[in-house]
Amino acid sequence: MKYILSFCLMAFFLNSSLNAQNLLIKQERIEIEKSPKYSTFVSKFPFLDSINFYEITYLSDSLMINGHLVSPKRSGDFPAIIYNRGGNREFGLNTLKKIVATGLAELASEGYVIAMTQYRGNGGSEGTEEFGGADVNDVLNLIDVMSEIENVDTSSIGMYGWSRGGIMTYSTLIQTNKIKAVVVGGGVSDSWDVLELRPGFEEHVYRELIPNYEENKSEELDKRSAIKWVDKFPKNVPILVLHGGSDGNVNPKQPLELSLKFNEFRIPHKLIIYEGDDHLLRNHREEAQLEIEHWFKRYLSEEESTPDMNYRISK
């Protein structure tokens, strides 16, 4: 009898362990080639013929979270990139049009598997968005999902965030050692400063999305401000920061001040401010895309070593 009991217990714990590892619920290919406009799209964006698009659903804190996946059609194991979108609620959702327009699809065609989440409460996902609170777990869990995706080299994972995605990226970076390189564009690194440029943001975003905002305003905004905890950043993950010099959404002084803090704590990084450009770098998209591709190629595809941040006197 005791042997039967032991066997049952072993089966239970084995099953529980396997279930705990299975976060990916759905991976369904989007058949874009069936669109009547596909030939027009491919003539404009030839790289579309070399990649697959998928809708995915995965578990995060027991919630069903929706997202997208873009991967090369050719065989092989590829580095992965987690993309963290900007916006809030339904504004800024990842769509096929956006994935192409922002250069993500082209980046995937260069040899990367790119995964992105809509965050909880958005795009049909369960739960409630917290604008950089518990929804950061949706990013952390997406990293683990990559081990369940075919053709992914899980030893080489990068992260790329835009705007609010900067909050998500920086918050994730201090909670995992699985990220090898980072790119942030137009990123928020000081949630207090956002209120100086856009005072209405407090009423329509912070108060509506951040739990217990009135009672814990200082604590919650600090939690969403990387400038407050640069000392926690890993020193072996190179960060590329891109920003428009005339960005009216996120003041360009944010990346400048963050860069000074990075320098103080010897965090490897490169900062590019595009003169006179806006939040989306509309006037420098091609330049920015090349910088992004080159950054990930160096630190993911070619596995270049982290820069030596020790001070050196040149003679």
For position 152, which CATH number holds? 3.40.50.1820
The segments of the chain whose pLDDT lies below 50 read 2, 5-19
- Tell me whether residue 13 is in a domain: no
In this prediction the pTM is 0.90
The two structure tokens encoding residue 67: 């997202």
R_g (Cα) of the chain, nearest Å: 21
Write out pLDDT tens, residues 224-257: 999 999 999 999 999 999 999 999 999 999 999 9
The pLDDT value given to residue 34:
84
Question: What is each CA distance from 216 to 89, 139, 223, 264, in whole angstroms?
Answer: 22, 24, 11, 29
Q: How many domains does the chain have?
A: 1
CA distances to 3, 47, 101, 196 from 62, rounded to whole Å, are 33, 36, 32, 37
Q: Does residue 270 lie in a domain region?
A: yes
Backbone angles phi, psi at 150, to 5 degrees: -65, 150
196 in a structural domain: yes
In angstroms, the Cα distances linking 262 to 39, 227, 241, 265 are: 46, 9, 11, 5
Domain assignment present for 112: yes
Q: Which of 117, 29, 115, 30 is nearest to 65 (CA)?
A: 117
C-alpha distances in Å from residue 32, one per residue of 35, 81, 211, 215: 6, 22, 39, 48
pLDDT of residue 5: 46
172 is a domain residue: yes
Residue 27 to residue 10: CA distance in whole angstroms: 30
312 within domain boundaries: no
Residue 19 lies in a domain: no
Nearest to 87 by CA among 251, 250, 284: 250
Q: C-alpha angle 226/227/232, rounded to 5°?
A: 60
Query: Residue 33: what pLDDT?
Result: 87
SS3 160: strand
Structural domain of 149:
26-301
Residue the block writes with tokens 């941040």: 309
Sheet containing strand 181-185, edge to edge, reads: 24-30, 51-60, 63-72, 113-117, 78-84, 152-162, 181-185, 239-244, 269-274
Has residue 229 been placed in a domain?
Answer: yes
